Structures are given as structure tokens and as C-alpha cells.
A and B are shown apart, each in its own frame.
Chain A
């Protein structure tokens, strides 16, 4: 048992380190590809690492309505994302899957959004409040989607255990109609989960000046940015384990490489969509999310009837 615990902790730490290492690389990849689409040279692919280091080295200013809450929000944000990293498989089996179940995962994903709310409240400016009101509206419409995807898996397998749910379980019915429906829904809403154009509405630099983040600078901004980069990796990894499980069973270097190849593929897809779209307005986005939510609920009903 003790040996098991040690292994779990080591595995969790390995996952955290992996996410922290890979996240800026994904961001760099995203920036480079975006630049190429825009006929630009683009920054070096390592630039996000330098950016983070630079921001971390800056003076730590206290500003906004409540500096304490501001600090808390950013720590909580990164901590939440990294906790999720411990719970989901990153090419190997999930290291801490006994530590929690699918419901915990759903809670944690929602908590990451709550951190943005806290950050916006802490800043207390009109623009940050606008940002969080948008974030909140989007969250209410969005979070059920991932929850439904996970619950469909749980319905198919009859278990809330993470290792069963997070292994392509959405397709675990005879003809997996619900899984396929859900795949479409998640593909269409994925930009919103990782907060990229056309759904970067809560930050919208040209409208509300980064919204909740507007009072952040220096190391705190670095951590928030880090959390956002990590979010892209986490959500991509979740998406891959839930919906593109094929090849997960392969032996070590192959399965692991295939997993990360799928994650990078998803990041590229996000980049392409972001580079070819204009930002939606919050009311347009909500109508869009509402449509997806209706389809998702339909999928859930199908799943509960065994499809």
C-alpha cells in the first residue's frame, strides 16, 4: 500500500511536471502556426517560456480592489488545473485515479472558471466586471457540456471510476450514437473551453481590455497565463482520452507518442479555427451554446436508453 501511494504521488508529480513543461510549447506552436497563416515570421517557438520567465522576474505589484483575493485567485487557478493534471491520463494510465472520481473532475473544471470570476472581482474595475459577467454567462452554458460527456461515459460503463470513464467510454454502447453526437458537440465547442477566438469573449482585448485579467501584472500575470496555457493541454488531453482513445493500449513509447501526437493535432486544429474567425458577441455565443446544450441533452437521453 505504501509503495502504491509513493507511486501515485510520483506519477502525479510526473504529470504535473509534464503539463508545466509542455504547456508553453503548445502555446509557442500555436503562435508560430498563427503567424505563418498570417504571412508573418512569428516568434521563436520557445518564446512563451521566455515570456513567462520575464514576467516572473518582474516586480510583484499589488493593485485592484482586493490584492489578497487577486493573489488567491491566481494560485487557486494554477493549482486547480494542475490537480486535474494528476487525475487524467497523459499517455500513461491516470496516476491518481483512486483519489477521485468523475464527479470530482467535473467540479475541478468548474472551479477553474470560478478562479477567473474571483480574479475579476478582485480587480473591481468596470471592465473586469464586464469580463466576469461574460465569463459567468458562458460558464453556465458551457460547463454542462463536459459534464454530460463524462456522464455519458459513466452511463455506458456503469461506473464513475476515472480509469473506466476516461478511456473512450463514450463509445461503449452497441452503436455509439450518443458518443458520436457528443464528439460533434465537443468539437464545435472546444474553442470556448480553451478560450480562443471566436469565443475569447470574456477577455476580448479590443472591447474590454482582457476583462478579468486587466489588473494583473508581473509574476501573478505569469501564473495566470501559465494556468491558461496548461488549460489548453489539459482540455486537449481530456478530449483525446474521452473521444479519441484508439491506440492508447499500445506499448510504452508508441502509445505515449501517439497520445501526444493527438494532443498536438488538436492544438493545431484550435489554432486554425482561431486564425480564421472573428470574435462572436456574447449573445450570439450564448445562442450557439444553447443549441449545443440541447443536442448534448439529447445525447444523454440516447445514452440512458443504451445507445
Chain B
């Protein structure tokens, strides 16, 4: 009903601009619209209907329809609806009005679309290169279907450097990254400092692109991709694994068996447990409180062991296939998992009690890295960052998947909008995860692990899925295709949106607060660095070419 209702609202407002619509069920809505009306429709959805911006997807559809395709995805969280506004663009003229002016959160997604698919967002407020390496020639767009996955374009210029914006007057420039003790992956923030106060910054990331989406669309098959998907992230890999499988299942209307749904829920929550415990540890390390860092890693370790016992691996669980899962939990493992949870709960409770009372930690985190409700809306911030600002969103409840519709749990929210609130949200979510796993163990019935798939999956269907990763909602969009692989697969990890909010969080703060503010979104740069085909150096090392560095690294010092 909700999907139909939203469609009618759009039809009433925009009439003939709405060409057709697809309502596969009450939780999904695909609206195909005229390209000229996209901007107004998106503005209407985002501002008037108060939808949450999710992601924009550009796709090269020329081999199939002779056109380019663009989708802007939105979510109505309270109404449990994911909506996609789609439009087709002529092959010779792929241009579309930018929506970034109306929907600031679309900033990166539109630039990425321009870099990788070559769809020009006309009137973009900050049309700078985002994803492609600095030396990459203009006019070559790796996600187009006529570009092979291993293509190295002619005219790659390793000498070309990234041009940074001019710093504001009276500010010194402090480079933060690409390598810094608190960055676990390369990313570069160029900070503008006035004394010890950060006045602004420019971000340059996407340094270790692995071309995962391109590989999926050109080399891998449906059931290979989950393995690749979970390698997007070293911490919340299972999220991408499940989210991809669900997106395909939603596209072809396939439902996995109930036992598989429970198993997915259990593994996702085990992942959240280890991720939150890891984060609390790292956050403490950043503010110099190493004792709690060590303690939370000690408490976390049994979670890793039980994951290894269930799936054979501490991380990268290789859990999903399309239509089911690959691992089962035996009665012995069930008993052991219960013990692990019991011990974890007993050990985590005193830590949380101590942290919540600790004035010293509060001193470093209260009022730091502030992102209020407005920032959450504008940048479409997600997960604990949003919940710490009192924005009550959680994909597990809002867009139920796997077995979450049968689970009884609380969505933890706080109202401080700062790093401290994010600490509290994450610390408390650990208990909710424990609760969910216990319910799964209680309710799980024997049954098959995988749905039977008799025919080839239908072609040209679209599916989307949202999974609540430990750091926020992960969203996958899939168009099914020929040769046993999808035509287009777009991954939007939560860090992709949360990182866009960081410059606002660190503005006018002490430099010392920069690392904990960045850390508080639990950034996962690899989740954003998933797209490019070639990993070449950006202009960070000036005196050395990549070849020289490699030679240096391989040769022994004399």
C-alpha cells in the first residue's frame, strides 16, 4: 500500500513525467521517469516527503537498451519502503541535471558516476575528480561495457598530480595521511589549520581501488560474487556478502529457507559483536587509553574463535550463496555459542558501567565531532552516527531482512550528536546483538539450508537490499544479466555517506579531536575503495616513481 501511495503522490504532482512504475512488493518501488524531471522529483522526495537519500547508480545499458541508465535511490524508513527513481539517457549524450544542489548527500555518488560511467551531472556544485587515479586520462570510463576489466588506457600519466584547492587565508596546511598511525587504510585529509584549530579540509581517497564491481560484471558468476563481496571490507565483510545475495534474491523474487535466514542473522550479529568491540578498543587507543583497548580486544577474541568454529574462518565467513547459506550450526556449536555469549555479556557489562562513569573519556569525547539532525539529513549519515543524533533509523527494523522481522530488540539512540553518544550507542548495541543471537538459537528449526534453483535466473530484473552493518546501512543494487552474472552491481557502504559528513564534524575543532572524530564514524576506507580497475599511485610521492619504489622495496640495502 505504501509503495502505491507514494507512486500516486508522485503521479499527482508530476503527472506525465512519470513513465511507468514497477512495484514487485509493498517494500520496493521502481519509478521510471523522464530525465528532465529527475531533479524536481528527487527534491520533492528528499525535501517534501522527507525521504532519506541512499545512493545514485549510473549504469551503461547500451548493449541492452541502447541507452545509459541512472537510478537515485531513496528510503522511507518509517514506512519500510525503498524507492528508486530511474531514468534513461541517450547513448550519445549522457547528461543529467545534478541533484547535489537539492540533495547534498548525492555529492560523491554523482561524481563517481561521472568518473566511472561517464554520465555528466550538469550543474554539480563541486565537480572535482573523485574516484579515478590522478594520472587517468579524461574520457575513459572503466565501468562502461566497452572497456575490458584489465584495460590500461593509453595516455596514463603517472606524473600528473592531484590539484588541491587553495587553503583559506592565514591557515597552514597539515597533511593527514595517506599513512598515519590511526588510519588503518590509506586516505588523505588535507587539513587547514589555524594554530591547533582545524578550519577546513579537503579529502582525497579512493587510493586502493580493486575493481570489484567491474570484476563482478565481467568475470565472476552469481555465486562467486559473495566471496568477492565480503572482501570489500575486512571488518564487516559478511554484511556485503549477505546484502549482495539478498539484492539478487529480491530481484528474482527468491526466498531462502527459514533456517538460512536465521543463520544469516546469527552471523551478521556475531560480526556486529566483534566489530563494535574492536571499535571501542580502537577509539580508546586513539585517545591514548590503551588499557581499555587491550581489554576490549581480549573480550572480543572468543567471538572470533566461535566464528572460526562455525565457518572455518575468523573473518570472511563465505556464508551466502544465492538462495541460502553454506554453513550450519550443530547442536554442539549452539551450546558453545551460548557459552561465549554468556561470558561476553558478563565481561562487557562491567566495562560499559566503568566507561559510562569515566569522566576522563567523556572529557575527550563530549561535544567533539558534532553531527546534528540537520547534518544527518543533509549528508545522509548512517548507523551509530545518525542514532547518536537521535535519528531513529536501523535497517534491521526499518527494512527487515533475514530473520529480523521475528526478533525482539531495541534500537539504541542517544541525543548528544557527539563522539561520546556514539560510544554509548555502540557499547549498548552489543547487548542487543547478544539478545538477537539468543532468540535465533531459540527459534531456529531444522530444515534445508539452500533454496532449490531449477532455471537460470531471469535477466534484466532489478533488486535492492539494505543491511545494517555495524557502522550503518549497507545498500546493494543489482540488475540481473546474462552469462550467469549481474549486468550491474552497485555497492554503497555506510562509510561512503559517513565520510562525507566528516569535514563538517571536524570544522573549528582542535587538531587533537580530528582523529577521534574521524574514528567515531568507524571509517572503513576499503568499503569506498572498491571500484577502480587499476591501482596506480596518486601524486603523493613526488620524488619516487612506483617502479623505483618497488625496486627499492625488493632490493636489499647495501
Contact = CB atoms under 8 A, between A and B. Distances in A.
Contact of B512 (A40, A133, A204, A209): A204
B483 interface: no
B513 A281 contact: yes
Given A130-B174, A277-B289, A278-B284, A38 B512 contact: no
A280 B287 CA distance: 8
Interface stretch (B97-105, B108-116, B243-251, B357-365): B357-365
A126 B172 contact: yes
Nearest to A129: B172
Contact of A40 (B174, B285, B294): B294
Contacts of B289: 197, 277-279
A198 B291 CA distance: 12
B175 A126 contact: yes
B298 interface: yes
A173 to B, nearest CB: 35
Range for the number of chain B residues in contact with chain A: 20 to 34
B515 interface: yes
Most buried by B among A38, A127, A275: A38
Contacts of B173: 126
B2 interface: no
A304 interface: no
Contact of B363 (A126, A208, A209, A284): A284
Interface string A113-153: 00000000000001100100110000000000000000000
A205 interface: yes
A280 B363 contact: yes
A57 B364 CA distance: 40
A280 B513 CA distance: 10
A250 B105 CA distance: 74
Contacts of A282: 196, 510, 512
A209 B176 CA distance: 11
Contacts of A276: 291
Contacts of A278: 284, 287-289, 360-361, 363-364
Interface string B336-364: 00000000000000000000000011011
Nearest to B513: A281
Nearest to A133: B196
B469 to A, nearest CB: 24
A62 interface: no
A206 B172 contact: no
Interface string B257-294: 00000000000000000000000000011111111011
B511 A130 contact: yes
Nearest to B285: A206
Contacts of B139: none
Given A38-B294, A204-B512, A207-B512, A279 B181 contact: no
A200 interface: yes
B360 A206 contact: no
B180 interface: yes
B218 interface: no
Contact of A281 (B175, B181, B510): B510
B182 interface: yes
Contact of B364 (A34, A134, A275, A279): A279
B473 to A, nearest CB: 28
A4 interface: no
A281 B512 contact: yes
Contacts of B286: 206
Most buried by B among A206, A209, A277, A282: A206
A190 B218 CA distance: 63
Interface string A93-111: 0000000000000000000
B67 interface: no
A133 B196 CA distance: 9
A60 interface: no
Nearest to B289: A278
B298 A39 contact: yes
Interface in A23-45: 34, 37-40
A206 B295 contact: no
Nearest to A205: B181
Given A126-B172, A281-B364, A204 B288 contact: yes
Interface string B495-515: 000000000000000111111
Contacts of B361: 278
Given A207-B512, A281-B513, A282-B196, A37 B364 contact: no
Contacts of B510: 281-283
Contacts of A283: 196, 510
Contacts of A126: 172-175
A37 B172 contact: no
Most buried by A among B289, B512, B513: B512
A279 B511 contact: no
Interface in A247-285: 275-284
Given A278-B287, A281-B510, A206 B364 contact: no
A279 B287 contact: yes
B181 A209 contact: yes
A277 B196 CA distance: 23
A200 B512 CA distance: 12
A150 B434 CA distance: 57
Contact of A197 (B175, B288, B294): B288
Interface in A3-39: 34, 37-39
22 contacts: A38-B290, A38-B293, A39-B295, A130-B174, A130-B196, A130-B511, A133-B196, A134-B196, A205-B181, A206-B285, A207-B511, A208-B511, A209-B181, A277-B289, A278-B284, A279-B289, A279-B364, A279-B512, A280-B364, A282-B510, A282-B512, A284-B363
Given A279-B287, A279-B512, 16 more contacts: A34-B291, A38-B291, A126-B174, A130-B174, A130-B511, A197-B289, A197-B290, A201-B512, A204-B288, A206-B285, A207-B182, A207-B514, A277-B289, A278-B364, A280-B364, A281-B364
The 9 residue pairs across chains A and B that have the minimum distance between CB atoms: A279-B288, A38-B294, A278-B289, A278-B287, A281-B512, A275-B291, A206-B182, A126-B174, A206-B286
Interface of A: 34, 37-40, 126-127, 130, 133-134, 197-198, 200-201, 204-209, 275-284
